[in-house]
Structure 1
Amino acid sequence: MAMVGRDDEQARLSAFVLAPDGQALVLRGEAGVGKSTLLDLAARLAAEDGQLVVRATGVEAESGLPHAGLHQLLYPLLPTSDDRPSAVQPSADQPSDRPSDAPLLGASARAAFDAVFGRPDGPPPPVMALGIAVLDLLSWTAAKGRPVLLVLDDGQWLDEASAEVCGFVGRRLSGRPGVKLLVAVRGDTASPFDTAALPEAPVGALADADATRLLDLHHPRLGRQVRGLVLEQAGGNPLALLELPAHLADGPGDRTGQDLLGLHGVPLPRRIQEIYAARLARLGDTVRAELLRGALDGAAARPGDGPAPVARYRMREVDEAVACGLLVVEPAAGEFAFRHPLVRSSVVQLATPDQRRAAHRVLAQLHREYPERRAIHLAAATVDPEEGVAADLEAAARSATRRGGARLAVSWLTRAAELSETRVDRSRRLGEAAYVAGQTDHLGRARSLALAAAPGTDESPAAVLADSYLALYRDGEVGATHRRIVAAVERLRDSPDRPGDSPDRPGRPDRPGDDRRDEVLDRLVSLLLAVSQYAGNRATWRRTHEVLATLGDLATERAWMYGSTWSDVVRHGAGWSRRVERASAGLADQDPWDVTRLAVSAYHLDVLSPLRPYLERVVDRELDTGAMSSGIVMLHLVLLDQLALGQWDAAERTGHRALALATERGHGLFAHQTRAYLAQLAAVRGRTAEARELQTTVDAWARPRCIGFLTQLADAVGTTAALSAGDYETAFLHAIGITAPGAFRPYAYQASRTLLDLVEAALHTGRAEQARAHALAARDAGLPDLSPRLALITHGALAMTAEDDTEAAAHYARAQSHPAAERFPFELARIRLAHGIAARRLHGAAAARLPLTQAAKTFDRLGAPAWAARAHAELRAAGVAPHTPAPAPLPLTWQERRVAELAAGGLTNKEIGEQMRLSPRTVGAHLYRAFPKLGITTRAALRDALTRVSQPTPTP
């Protein structure tokens, strides 16, 4: 039957479906307004055009199950090879009808799909990695010569993880011809697509004339009074126009006016839902039980044409529900489906708690091959404590945590605690939930869960963990926090019934270390080490190491690794590099907080670069759906590696992102730590005023709190800024604030990192003996054996302070030929600059030109103007002509140009995003790419820079 009205909507959808370019569109309107009918129209137009149509429906019952919606949407497109994820295998009674030429995915895409669709052996991908994999899959499918239309109904019920990926994909379809995404969401319900920044089309009520035509077409025999009342009550809502007449025919004949429906003042969707509830009440118990199982299992209102990704409950013997207009029979599959999502909601609401629990038990048996689904249904079906169900939920929570669902894991662990049979198990699971809640930055909930784990005391291990995270990360409290954790560790160590491993509950075999160790104790020890690292003083670390020594076998290898590498690599770091590299081989099997701890050890040993690709893959996932605190630490680690490798523009973007997150979350410690890193970046880039302002802010916050980690960073910033400005006396004063010349102050982690700074500042201020003593102390302490960076700068320091030319040449050669020298370009360029200066004075201009040229090129590339100016000055003294002028600004893309113009006009990132339908994060990325192309560093310079660039705005 032809659609009534909707001429504008039909024209827009026709243009959308038949356009050759890829694009996305969101239809938004109230329940019953006809969004699904418009989706049917689009699907039919696409099919007639020869396009491959893939349909999916958001399911309210699955809105908390990560990637459930994406699974449903992508299932018909996934390859039919043996490489496909095991979680998407069709069942025996659901043969696959995918095209035989379905593409084979690349390794990275397969790994992404495996990780989210059921295989635990792949690394959990962030939104970006999974989104790119989806884009590749869609592009490969379209490249076969058959365009693809993805149709998603009831998008408001899509799980958050799937919606993030769909939004990522939808924003990037414009450059991928042959692929389109069409989504329908309710306008009166919060939706994960509300912030997706996709083009939208409102679907409003029918015009009066069209509403009248639709009503007369379906109910031609209505009396005048009832007809007028229906038109008034429906307000142009097509579903109401179809359903209200039947409701009136079933009711008393004397109902008139607004009391006719008995629901005056209730929103229209709720009134329609009440109509369905009245019909349901007249059905038999058996039919209603069948409908309830289908509703709780997410039987879609409009199922797709292909096979379902997982087996759904098949409703049987429900013809009575079809007859009264609650169900329809889909012609393609011959399956019963709910006529509208409001029917499904009515079925669930009308059922009693006992009826819902009985339905969940049936569904748990149906999904026995899908652990997470089974655990959810078992939890809903169980009233009294039952250890088997609690264990299943706990296992599902662990799986969710490693796949980026730490927030969801908190709910499952809490429910597992409720179903635990013993007090010990209940306390343990609540403690686990509290710990995970703390990692996801829900510190208030973490504390309440911790108190529930051990009622009546504030000193339970879970409570100490929750409170200590709050005190450390929000307030920067290290002294009292350290003492409280030490006391908790000692109580737990001496307790005869530690809430850890026992013969009938062995330790977690999937984590490294002693199988007998207590996981709660391990977490307290890890936090104790973190507090000690931030305290950064000898007394705190000595007390921590004393506590570790008293734990005996309870202290794991990981604990000693962290205690050694985080405290003082000069004295305790020897021999740990290879063990860190070994432990890094299985990152995908570790919780996110364990990954970050290991990566911090790698940073202190200067072997962080191999771990960075993994951190970059998972950081977005943790920030969006998982462990927020771990995500911010991951950003710090990525920034530090970018800084070391000379990727300073990227490091600055990472730093500003971390600062925004830490500030938004109220993490005072992380916010000031990020400011310290940004200050170091500003210092090496010659922006000394900015560096000193940030340094002052960090120092003023950290020094009263005795946070040595940050005060040392502040002193390091002061040293670098002074060196960049050529103020060597100030640089020396800052450097000796970290450590005295000729020694490396115990437990001062910046002492070894600023070796080259102190030596250079001492040489330029006439303190050659102190510079030499410091270089020899580095050699005697074995720094070249601890890390590649320390080897590079130790040989550089020895060369700069050498007493004869032969020794200097040997150390310069060893430094510049070190296999890892190029991984630290700034330090290498400084050593080459010093080498060139010395060579020109001792051997003449010719000998100096190569190291000076290499140094100048590196400083130019890095964007270190003060250092580059010195290198070029030395080159001129060596007879090399001044370097050529800087090239003209690089051309901007259309989007970069448009974003820059709007930013120059004073708009914020959010306002620009609203105009261009981009997320504020994407707007920021465009600006950071545009700045270096324009040769600027701030928004204030945009207007003048755009005026200088005479290029016309290119056509998108």
Structure 2
Amino acid sequence: MEAGGLARLDASGRLLFRHPLVRAAVLSTARRSELRAAHRQLAAGLDVDDPRRLVHEASAALVPDEDLAARLQEAGGRIARRGGAAEGALLLDRAAALSTEPAARARRLTWAAVMAAHGGRLRYTARLVEELRRGPVPPDAAPLFAYATVYVDQGHRVDFASSFTLLPEALDALAAPGAETFGGLAEQVCFKLLLAATYTDDARAWQALERHLDDMSPLARLCHRAWSDPARTAQGVSEELKALVAGMSEEQEAGGAWLLLWTASAVDLADDDLWRRFTGQHAYATQGSIAKARSYQDFLRGRWDAAGDCLREAEVADELGYHCNALLFRLAYAHFAAGRGDEDELRMVDGLIRPVAVRARMRYATDRLTHLTALAALAHGRHEDAYCDLVSLTPPGVLPRGLPWFQLPFLDFVDAAVHTGRRAEARAHVAAGRAARMAEISAHHAFLLAAATALAAPDDEADAAYRAAYQVPGADQWVFELARLRLAHGSWLRRHRRAEAHDVLREAHRAFQGLRARPWEERCARELRAAGHAVGPTASGHALLTGQELRIAELAATGLTNKEIAQRLRLSPRTVAAHLYKIFPKLGITTRAALAQALRHD
């Protein structure tokens, strides 16, 4: 081989192949006896405690070997505890294959499935779970099997049915006196059950969680409080979460990462430091949760140029088998489309999400889509349409338990009610928010309550109420909602104190331009003109593009062909070409080569 230039020895005596395919060809043509001999030789050259030696010993083994299986299991657990869960899973899988007893094999394979799940190897976890289903799982490993099964069902299959049967039984078993803890498995089971409860509002999940509240950690109980009935239970959660995080060790943070992130999302906690704590430290299982939390915060805080990231994250999630994450990233994208009033884009993403969510009885997604449809209608001034959608979610003066993110449609309901002449209903809703001490949940909740109060206020109190809303600490964080408040205030000023309307409406107009929320921008422009102020063109060519057109333009600007863009966006090349035909005149260009320059200028 060396004479033919296929391989050579370097200065240290190490054999190097000219190309990886040459190495693969050598391995594929070698006899099994030769491969086992090579593994034995490699094992002999490594320290006894080196995990690589165990891997080579396992590859050289001809028959089941309980001693070797036990050593592989110990090494796999050690690696997983140091953050290498995916690598630990491979060792446990091999340990299972070398086990001499069926029960020991099943236990090790179950551990491998759990480690693979934590290591972000969801497809691998699914394969291991299917293998386990073909034989009996020992009763003492049942909680592990339940957790692995539900992990696959929720994340890969977007199916929550097993959550309501397997997880309550697992919690019962883990809470029994003297029961094996499986390294704090109860915390992860609680989290998965809480997800299922929040996503579906299934009574069985909530009842099981409430039955085990006393067995939960302080963090798990806080997360339950944040999501179970937030209008009545989430007051003070933001401050308590910050205090909990401040007192946690790095190891505790790592173990509770999902619960921390999920709790923060429940109360709209905009804490960049919290995301930084976990960035780069965990596998996709955690990194995906961080990305979802960031997407939501990007929407709330006006970072709408990040909208396209949601669709890219959805593609990554689908490729890794995390189909529930992909659905949730598309749902995050739907928020940006609705905020911009881009109803074509919203219908497109609704068509991707709703069928899956309906099959899974995932109210968390279907109810949000209903809310976002209403938000888009508000952008276009169709207040009656918006009201009809919103009242189906949150009746006047009622903050339902089954709407865990009740704060999001709160302001929209009041807005729609006021504009359709239902001021009494709007004030009843504001009164319900005040009675629920909504302002004590988070800074965002406090601002939404103050903004809704201003919208519903009688004329003799309105100006003071608007100004009070501006003074809520951190009000400028909520860029879109603050711009909407200024539009409403500017409209009121135009009717009552015309001279004072200009500055308020200009601020709103500028914010909507930055967000590329064209319908809202046009409404501001109309108010400004009605107040006697000149307004330039309401939108640049860039802002005139729909969300779909903007994505196609950005991809085309990178040099991708129509076919490549179509594959990326799951469209036909003909549809891409049709969009480009509309995009060029909007941007004032005639060639594809001018796209990048036009997008930069806008």
User: How would you bin the TM-score normalised by the shorter chain?
Assistant: 0.7 to 0.9
Equivalent pairs counted in the alignment come to 572
1:607-651 Cα deviation digits (max 9, x unpaired)? 144257538943xx86xxx44x4443333222112111212221x
Normalising to structure 1: TM-score of the pair? Answer: 0.53
Distance in 1 (alpha carbons) for counterparts of 2:136 and 2:28:
43
Q: Which residue of 2 aligns with 1:498?
A: 179
Query: Is structure 2 residue 493 aligned with structure 1 residue 839?
Result: yes
Query: Is structure 2 residue 34 aligned with structure 1 residue 391?
Result: no
Q: Which residue of 2 aligns with 1:739?
A: 394
Distance in 1 (alpha carbons) for counterparts of 2:541 and 2:429:
44
> In structure 2, do the counterparts of structure 1 residues 418 and 732 end up closer, same or farther at CA, with 3 Å as the change threshold?
same
Q: Which residue of 1 aligns with 2:19?
A: 185
Report the secondary structure of 1:566's partner residue.
Answer: helix
Report the secondary structure of 2:432's partner residue.
Answer: helix
Shift in Å at residue 756 of structure 1? Answer: 0.6
Q: 2:115 aligns with which of 432, 436, 439?
A: 436
Q: Which residue of 2 aligns with 1:634?
A: 290
Q: Which residue of 2 aligns with 1:253?
A: none
Shift in Å at residue 888 of structure 1? Answer: 7.6
Q: 1:580 aligns with which of 241, 244, 256?
A: 241
Q: Which residue of 2 aligns with 1:601?
A: 263
Distance in 1 (alpha carbons) for counterparts of 2:39 and 2:429:
78
1:205-239 Cα deviation digits (max 9, x unpaired)? xxxxxxxxxxxxxxxxxxxxxxxxxxxxxxxxxxx
> In structure 2, do the counterparts of structure 1 residues 384 and 688 end up closer, same or farther at CA, with 3 Å as the change threshold?
closer
In the alignment, structure 2 segments of 5+ residues that lack a partner are: 544-552, 570-575, 598-602
Q: Which residue of 1 aligns with 2:455?
A: 800
Taking the TM superposition and a 5 Å limit, the aligned residue runs for 1:224-623 are 350=37, 353=40, 359=44, 363-364=46-47, 384-385=66-67, 390-401=73-84, 406-415=85-94, 430-439=109-118, 440-441=121-122, 442-447=124-129, 455=137, 460-494=142-176, 497-500=178-181, 519-536=184-201, 539-540=203-204, 542-549=206-213, 552=214, 554-584=215-245, 589=251, 594-611=256-273, 613-614=275-276, 617-618=279-280
Contact 1:889 1:949 (8 Å CA) reproduced = no
Contact 2:171 2:189 (8 Å CA) reproduced = yes
Q: Which residue of 2 aligns with 1:882?
A: 535
Q: 2:405 aligns with which of 750, 771, 774?
A: 750
Contact 1:565 1:576 (8 Å CA) reproduced = yes
Report the secondary structure of 2:148's partner residue.
Answer: helix
> In structure 2, do the counterparts of structure 1 residues 850 and 521 end up closer, same or farther at CA, with 3 Å as the change threshold?
same
Shift in Å at residue 658 of structure 1? Answer: 2.6
Rg larger in structure: 1
Query: Is structure 2 residue 557 aligned with structure 1 residue 900?
Result: yes
- Structure ranking higher in helix proportion: 2
Contact 1:453 1:462 (8 Å CA) reproduced = no
Taking the TM superposition and a 5 Å limit, the aligned residue runs for 1:902-921 are 902-903=559-560, 905-908=561-564
Shift in Å at residue 836 of structure 1? Answer: 1.2
Report the secondary structure of 2:562's partner residue.
Answer: coil
> In structure 2, do the counterparts of structure 1 residues 771 and 416 end up closer, same or farther at CA, with 3 Å as the change threshold?
same
Distance in 2 (alpha carbons) for counterparts of 1:809 and 1:898:
46
Report the secondary structure of 2:269's partner residue.
Answer: coil
> In structure 2, do the counterparts of structure 1 residues 693 and 902 end up closer, same or farther at CA, with 3 Å as the change threshold?
closer
Contact 1:431 1:453 (8 Å CA) reproduced = no
Report the secondary structure of 2:288's partner residue.
Answer: helix
AA at the equivalent of 2:272? P
AA at the equivalent of 1:729? E
Query: Is structure 2 residue 475 aligned with structure 1 residue 821?
Result: yes
Distance in 1 (alpha carbons) for counterparts of 2:468 and 2:578:
37
Q: Which residue of 2 aligns with 1:95?
A: none
> In structure 2, do the counterparts of structure 1 residues 700 and 390 end up closer, same or farther at CA, with 3 Å as the change threshold?
closer
Report the secondary structure of 2:166's partner residue.
Answer: helix
Q: Which residue of 2 aligns with 1:94?
A: none
1:772-819 Cα deviation digits (max 9, x unpaired)? 11112111211111111111110011111123534x334322321233
Give me the CA root mean square deviation. Answer: 4.3
> In structure 2, do the counterparts of structure 1 residues 615 and 881 end up closer, same or farther at CA, with 3 Å as the change threshold?
farther
Bigger drift between 717-726 and 810-819 goes to 810-819
Contact 1:451 1:463 (8 Å CA) reproduced = no
Query: Is structure 2 residue 426 aligned with structure 1 residue 771?
Result: yes
Contact 1:855 1:871 (8 Å CA) reproduced = yes
> In structure 2, do the counterparts of structure 1 residues 910 and 758 end up closer, same or farther at CA, with 3 Å as the change threshold?
closer
> In structure 2, do the counterparts of structure 1 residues 429 and 766 end up closer, same or farther at CA, with 3 Å as the change threshold?
same
AA at the equivalent of 2:262? V
AA at the equivalent of 2:481? E
Q: Taking every aligned residue pair, what percent have the same amino acid on both sides?
A: 25
> In structure 2, do the counterparts of structure 1 residues 682 and 670 end up closer, same or farther at CA, with 3 Å as the change threshold?
same
Q: Which residue of 1 aligns with 2:546?
A: none
Distance in 2 (alpha carbons) for counterparts of 1:758 and 1:577:
25
Report the secondary structure of 2:397's partner residue.
Answer: coil
Distance in 1 (alpha carbons) for counterparts of 2:350 and 2:408:
18
Distance in 1 (alpha carbons) for counterparts of 2:398 and 2:286:
34
1:297-338 Cα deviation digits (max 9, x unpaired)? xxxxxxxxxxxxxxxxxxxxxxxxxxxxxxxxxxxxxxxxxx
Distance in 1 (alpha carbons) for counterparts of 2:249 and 2:582:
43
In the alignment, structure 1 segments of 5+ residues that lack a partner are: 1-29, 41-54, 61-152, 155-183, 191-266, 275-344, 502-507, 509-518, 891-895, 912-919, 922-930
Shift in Å at residue 866 of structure 1? Answer: 0.5
Q: Which residue of 2 aligns with 1:218?
A: none
Contact 1:612 1:638 (8 Å CA) reproduced = no
Taking the TM superposition and a 5 Å limit, the aligned residue runs for 1:155-174 are none
Shift in Å at residue 569 of structure 1? Answer: 2.0
